[in-house]
Every structure is written in structure tokens, then in C-alpha cells.
Structure 1
Amino acid sequence: MAEEEKKPKPIYLFPDLLEEILLRLPLQSILNFKIVAKQWRSILESRRFAERRVEIQKNRKILAAVDHEPESRFEGDEEIEVFYLHCDCDDVATRPSLTCDGLVCIPVPGWVNVLNLSTGESIGFPSGPDPVTNYYDYQLASGYWWNTFPAFWAMGFGKDIVNGSYKVVRMFFDPNHYCEILDVNIGEWRKLLNPPPYKVDARRKSACVNGSIYWLELHDKLCVLALDLHTEVFRVIPSPPICSESDQVVNLENRLAIAKTNTWSDWKLEIRCLDAQEKTWSMTYTISLTSIATPRPWRVWFRPMAVSKQGNLFFYDSKKRLFKYYPETSSLRCLSLDICVISPFVENLVSLRPSGSYVPKTSGSRPSGFPNIILDQEKVKDKQLIVPTAQTTILQQL
């Protein structure tokens, strides 16, 4: 008899060593390895692994939307990468959204949708009947700095850094102040016992930094209103000494920042950051914008996104332009003249499967008026950003 072929001996890897190996693999491989063994799946779906995966990412990334295929587009450079989402129409590409750790929250009438573009998961939560307000009827008919969410909800989206859950926040102020929170892991709205102490402008985007959501208010009270997502307690933070209608509140490298355009003398962008004690604002960047040809510059707002390892700042404006600022030489470069930037982007392996009794929407119950969002297949192939499936539709459950 021929000698039987010897079977290779199985190799046992300690869980800690296995985790270190898996952390350094491309995202597509990580997602495919979930079916190898229960132990591997347990590691890959753990909160610890998802958080460590976010921490070790090196290259800065930008998430942008396109509603058409331009002749040429910015694909990134040696300091930053760009990932595109293809939308069916310009309305979706420019629809106000909120982001945190690579997750995207898109409120639409009747629904709040949360997407994880790294895993391809999406989930929608009914928002119930929208309230009605006439408060904004008596203000300016249009504002070039506004990002209006459905029904004039003041929206927020962020992560509770204590228990790791992601939460959607919405506030309404007419006639009474109240706030509701939805934990994505549970899937149910609940009303806070303590309402927000001040009204904030619902037409401004909020920012999430280190477990709190921040709203800038310039009308009823000049301040920054903050909500701790774990204790669910509001607090009031003094705003910078000088503010204007076009100011934008952002998360810049895990610090709360306000971007202000100054048009009184030389046109410039001023970016101030808040210290860890939330007491002092410091001028971080002063960028001359005189080299940018823009008619009526007072109608333009700017939002900083990321700082590269080389210390250069990336920011974009309301004219769909992307810029790179070099602090060492005080020089400014326009990277793209036609890009709809959504936010900075990081890979995130967190699951959107609710642990409570909430049943997610199925793919056949997508809200009307919300077209598909399609992934850039070349980026999927080259960057291995999104899990490959038979369908490339991100909103699979919408």
C-alpha cells in the first residue's frame, strides 16, 4: 500500500497573538475571515478589536459623494486618500449628514438612516411624525451657511465613549424645548428628562468630540451647547470672542474647533480650538484666502477636515472645492474644483445589528425619495475598503 499522505498538524495561535495578526490585515480579508472559526469571528466582532482597528490606521482618508462621473477627479496624494460614493442625484450627494468614526447618519423625512461603509451594513429607524414650526419663517429666507435637517430638527450623532454605543440626538424648541436620543444598539427613541437649556440654530451642523455633541448658537445666546452622550447632561461652553453667521463647528483631530471666515480686511480663514478643560479657545490656524478667486466671499464657508502626518491641513468650502494648506510656508493649494466632501473617514468594524427588540427595515422598504448610494467599485478593488458582495448598493436595508 502506498504510504498514506500525512495531514498537516493544526497550528494553535493564542488569542492575543491572533488578534495582533488580524489587526494588520486589509479590511476585505478581515471581513472574509469571520467565517473561518467561531473564535476568529468573536475576535473580529468584539468592541476591543473595532476600536484598536480605528487607532492603528495610518493614512488620512476623505469620504466624498458624486452624482455624476466627472472627466477628472482628485484621487488623493501622498498624504491623503479619497473614497467616493456614487449617488443617483445631486439632492442625495448634498443632503445634510452627520458622521462619527466612519459611520454616516442621514436623516430623511420619516426616517433616520445609519450606514457603516466599511462593512456594508445599514439600518433605518422610523422617526415618527415630524413637528411643525414657524420659527424660521420670520428669519432670513436663505442662508449660505445653513445645513437644514428635516422639520428643522437640531441633529447630532456621536459615540458614547464609556460603553461604545453610537447615538442619534434630535432637539426641538417650538413651543417647548425637548430632546430625544436613539441608541443604535437598542433602536428606540426616548425623551430626556432634562430639556436643553437654550435654543440652538437647527440649520447648523453639530460635531461630536470625545463623547459629547456640540452645537454653536449665535442668536438667543452666544455660546456652545454640549451634551455628554453617556451622562446625557447638557452643559454650556463659552464661544470664541468673535463669531459670525458662517462659522462652522467641527471635530479637528479630536479637538473641538470653530472655523471662521474673516472678510473685514484681508479675506482669511481663522480656526480656533478648545482646550481639554473647555475654558480657552486658541488660534490654531490663520490662512490667507486672497489667492482664491471667489465673487462675494462673504457667502462662502469653510470646514477643516484633517491634518496629515506632515502637519498639512485639508479643508473644503461650500463651493465644492478642496484645499491643502502648508503651515511651514503659509502656502495654499487647491486640490479639486468639483468635489462634494462628506467628512473625514476611518475604517470601522462595529456592527449595526441592534441588541434589543427592534427589527431593522428590510431591503424592500426603502423610504420613498431616497435613491441608492453606490460604492466606487475601483476603490473597493484597489483599497479593499468595503466588503465585496453581489450587490454594491450601500443602502441595502433602505
Structure 2
Amino acid sequence: MASPAKINQLKDIKNKNSIRREVLWNSISLEKGKSLSDYPEEIIFNILVWLPAASLYNLRRVCKNWLDIISSPCFIQCHLARVQPYIIERKTLWNNHIRSVYVKDSEIRVGNLALGGDWEILATCNGLLLVKDHSNDIHISNPATKQLLPLPTCSKSCDDYQLLHDLDVDFDYAELDFYRFGYAPSTAEYKVVHFFHDGKQQCEILTLGLDSWRRIDISFLVLPLIFNKQLLLNGVLHWVVGYHYIMSMDIAQETFDETPIPSCIGPNLDTLSMDETFYLTEIRGSPSLINRISHVEFEVWILKDFQIKEWIKLSNIDATARGIINLIPLLGLRNDEVIFKSRKKRSGQLVLSTYDLKLQTMILVKLYPRELQIFSMITHFDTLVSLKFQK
């Protein structure tokens, strides 16, 4: 029998869906002899913005008015602000399709994200993917609109293995070549940031729409322990470096800053791997850390004030009573929910779990198929952002 909290949650979802259907019905209740295109542009805008990006991309051909609406920067931003994130594989060994996983209303839906080739995903930003092929050539892809943009050739690190040995770095955790991808609202620019090593740490930046990379001076060493996950908030990129601090980069100003991780947070030797100790995500519009205490317990910390580096402890997550083990946080959603990968304690069956920070409840969802590479997944949005950037 469902708990009272779960019942109230389902009622809220049902009420929201009813209100949404009523708004849409009132918006498109057509008078006899009228077509949808006869109605004011504001109504058309408010209807179209609820549709998936792939459908909207096809609907541009309906008429010039719809093309203008769907292609407008205002519409694209409104659509992006509405869509919920989902998780996708960073790479796959099975075929050329990257699998996507949606978790909604205690159900899971697995689909394919066709990229038109065998790519490794390096980073995402506003629904655009930074991808690499077998030749290490870098591209920007928008799966929803099936656009692909090749990028200029970037620099490469020197002999990786020799350099890692010289730096006394663990081969399993270090990356000499790694990328960040972000958007600056103040300048309306997308930028790819590339870190590499040619005897010392180097950084180069490509503004999408331009033809060449620019090197910038950096005075810090990001190696040896770098995590793949990145977080983009209000034009600032954040990522965790080692166990000690979060590195931040202002995309517009191209400046870097460090935020110490709370001293009471430390590595847990019982974790399966380093990158499962901390998980960086967005909660309530701020950078947040989900810190592992055990295989079923986590702390949620939120960076309340980025300027003065003030952290507060938001919540404790304890799944001991749920009969699951080996929880790994995968994704934070905009509605104060966090998605975890886990296994049932008795059967070992792989499951997804959603934890509601407001209700402090966890809901289990079965996970299929078994071959899904859930350990290598990142957040993604479906977007209408065009790859035709101004030069």
C-alpha cells in the first residue's frame, strides 16, 4: 500500500496534468471553420512550447509564421527552460545508438539517441553534445535537429603514459586531455574549453562560430585527479577536482576560481571508485554536492553563497530500509529529485531510484535492459539550439 506522502505526490502530479490539459484544451478549442493558424501568435507560442524538440523541428515547415516562432531565440530559451533533463550514455560498445533513460511517474523509458555515427560524448550544454570520433576529431551535435558541426583541430598532450608516470599520477583517474563546454548568457556565446599537457598544464578556448582556438594562461594544476562531470549554472562551469575543491570558470570572462569543499567531507574508503564519493549537481539553482557516507547513506550539501564560499547541509538521504545497496547518484532534476542507480539487496537486480528532497521519500523503479551502461551516463536536454553560429 502506498504511503500518504506517495499518495499526495501522485495527486499533485494528477492535478498538474489536469490543469495543463485544461489550458491546452482552452487554447486550441477552435471555432467552427477556423484553423489553428488563425489564432493569435501568443496562443500558438504557448501551445508549441510544450512539444518535444524533434517534433518542433519538423513543424517549422507548416508555415512561415510557425517557422518564425519556433526559430526565435525567445521561443528556444522558453522551451529549454521548460524541458526536464534525462540521462544518456557517454559511449556505447553495442551499436551506433546512444541509449537514453527517462524516469517519470515511477516508470522508466529507455530509448535510442541516434547520432549518425560511433561517437564518444565528452560534455553537454543546453542540449548540444561535444563528441569525439575514433580519429579524435571533435564535433558539436544536436541529436534533436540532427545537426553536426566539425570543430577546428585542437592541441594534443605529449606522451600520456610517460607524463603520468613522471607526475606520479594514478592511470585510472587522471586525464591529460579533457574538455568543458559552456554557454555565457551575457554574451550569447558557446565556448569549448580544452585542457591539455605539453610538459605543463595548458588551456585553449574555442568560441563557436570562430575558426581557431585561443590559448590562455593558467596558473593552476588541474591534474592529477579530475572528475568528468561538469555543471553549468548562470554562465559558470563547475567541476570537482580531487577531494579538495571545486574549480569554476566564468565562460564570458574566461576566469577561474576555486571553492574549497567543506572540511567535514572526506573520502570514504568503502566507495567503489573515486568518482562515486562526490556527485556535483544543481539543487534549487545552486551548485550542490551529494556526499557518500556509505553504500546507502548520503549527505546533500548546497553552496548557498558562491561569492563567499558558504556551504550548508541541506539533507540526509538514508535508503537502509528500502532493501537496496550500492547507490550511485546519477542526476539531479529541477523538481528537487535525485536519481540513483542501485541494486536490490536480495536479488541483485539493477534498479533506478528517485529521491524527493522535499518529501524525503525514495521510489524504486525497475531498470531495463541489462546491457545499459548506466555507470557512464550524463545529463542531457532536447533542444532547438541551432549550430549556425555567428562569426
If the length of structure 2 is used for normalisation, what is the TM-score?
A: 0.68
Counterpart of 1:33 in structure 2 is: 59
Equivalent-residue separation in structure 1 for 2:35 and 2:360 (angstroms)? 60
Which of 255, 267, 272 aligns to 2:301? It is 272
The Cα RMSD (Å) is: 3.9
Structure holding more strand per residue: 2
Change beyond 3 A, Cα 1:228–1:11: closer
Superposed CA offset, 1:167-210 (max 9, x none): 21112355333311122233532122x42534344641132222
Given residue 183 of structure 2, which amino acid in structure 1 is its aligned partner?
Answer: K
Given residue 284 of structure 1, which amino acid in structure 2 is its aligned partner?
Answer: L
* More displaced 10-residue stretch of structure 1: 283-292 or 59-68: 59-68
- Match of 1:275, SS? strand
- Match of 1:252, SS? strand
Which of 175, 186, 191 aligns to 2:199? It is 175
Which of 256, 265, 277 aligns to 2:287? It is 256
Counterpart of 2:250 in structure 1 is: 228
Query: Where do 1:1-398 residues align within 5 Å?
Result: 15-57=41-83, 61-64=86-89, 68=94, 76-78=103-105, 82=109, 84-85=111-112, 95=120, 97-108=122-133, 110-132=136-158, 133=160, 134-137=162-165, 139=168, 141-143=170-172, 146=173, 152-192=176-216, 194-201=217-224, 203-205=226-228, 206-218=230-242, 222-241=244-263, 242-244=265-267, 245-246=274-275, 247-253=277-283, 254-263=285-294, 268-278=297-307, 279-288=309-318, 290=320, 291-294=323-326, 302-307=328-333, 309=335, 311-316=336-341, 322-327=352-357, 328=359, 330-331=361-362, 333=364, 335-336=366-367, 338=370, 339-341=372-374, 342-356=377-391
Shift in Å at residue 105 of structure 1?
A: 1.6
- Match of 1:51, SS? helix
Superposed CA offset, 1:127-146 (max 9, x none): 33512144422546554xx4
Aligned 8 A contact 2:280 2:288 in 1? yes
Change beyond 3 A, Cα 1:293–1:87: farther
If the length of structure 1 is used for normalisation, what is the TM-score?
A: 0.67
Equivalent-residue separation in structure 2 for 1:15 and 1:215 (angstroms)? 41
Equivalent-residue separation in structure 2 for 1:249 and 1:276 (angstroms)? 19
Equivalent-residue separation in structure 1 for 2:245 and 2:145 (angstroms)? 38
Aligned 8 A contact 1:158 1:211 in 2? yes
Shift in Å at residue 243 of structure 1?
A: 3.5
Change beyond 3 A, Cα 1:107–1:243: farther
Shift in Å at residue 112 of structure 1?
A: 1.8
Superposed CA offset, 1:234-292 (max 9, x none): 122222222334334533244312233234xx752233221243422222343335543
Change beyond 3 A, Cα 1:178–1:140: closer
Change beyond 3 A, Cα 1:248–1:168: farther
Aligned 8 A contact 1:155 1:169 in 2? yes
Given residue 78 of structure 1, which amino acid in structure 2 is its aligned partner?
Answer: D
Equivalent-residue separation in structure 1 for 2:152 and 2:342 (angstroms)? 32
- Match of 2:317, SS? strand
Equivalent-residue separation in structure 2 for 1:81 and 1:173 (angstroms)? 41
Aligned 8 A contact 2:127 2:380 in 1? yes
Change beyond 3 A, Cα 1:329–1:195: closer
Change beyond 3 A, Cα 1:289–1:135: farther
Structure holding more helix per residue: 2
Aligned 8 A contact 1:62 1:345 in 2? yes
Given residue 224 of structure 1, which amino acid in structure 2 is its aligned partner?
Answer: I
**Which structure is higher in RCO with an 8 Å CA cutoff and minimum separation 6?**
1
Aligned 8 A contact 1:271 1:284 in 2? yes
Count of residues paired in the alignment:
326
Aligned 8 A contact 2:144 2:382 in 1? yes
The answer for unaligned runs of 5 or more in structure 1 is 1-6, 295-300, 357-398
Q: What is the percent sequence identity of the aligned residues?
A: 18
Shift in Å at residue 103 of structure 1?
A: 2.0
Given residue 275 of structure 1, which amino acid in structure 2 is its aligned partner?
Answer: K
Aligned 8 A contact 1:226 1:234 in 2? yes
Equivalent-residue separation in structure 1 for 2:195 and 2:74 (angstroms)? 32
Superposed CA offset, 1:335-356 (max 9, x none): 3274334333322101012333
Equivalent-residue separation in structure 1 for 2:233 and 2:35 (angstroms)? 49
The answer for unaligned runs of 5 or more in structure 2 is 1-32, 268-273, 344-348
Change beyond 3 A, Cα 1:331–1:281: same
- Match of 2:60, SS? helix
Change beyond 3 A, Cα 1:197–1:153: same
Equivalent-residue separation in structure 1 for 2:76 and 2:240 (angstroms)? 31
Aligned 8 A contact 1:63 1:82 in 2? no
Aligned 8 A contact 1:156 1:170 in 2? yes
* More displaced 10-residue stretch of structure 1: 228-237 or 175-184: 175-184
Given residue 117 of structure 1, which amino acid in structure 2 is its aligned partner?
Answer: P
Equivalent-residue separation in structure 2 for 1:74 and 1:128 (angstroms)? 32
- Runs of 4+ residues deviating >6 angstroms: 7-12, 317-320
Shift in Å at residue 233 of structure 1?
A: 1.2
Change beyond 3 A, Cα 1:209–1:163: same
Equivalent-residue separation in structure 2 for 1:196 and 1:321 (angstroms)? 43
Equivalent-residue separation in structure 2 for 1:28 and 1:154 (angstroms)? 30
Shift in Å at residue 161 of structure 1?
A: 1.9
Aligned 8 A contact 2:353 2:362 in 1? no
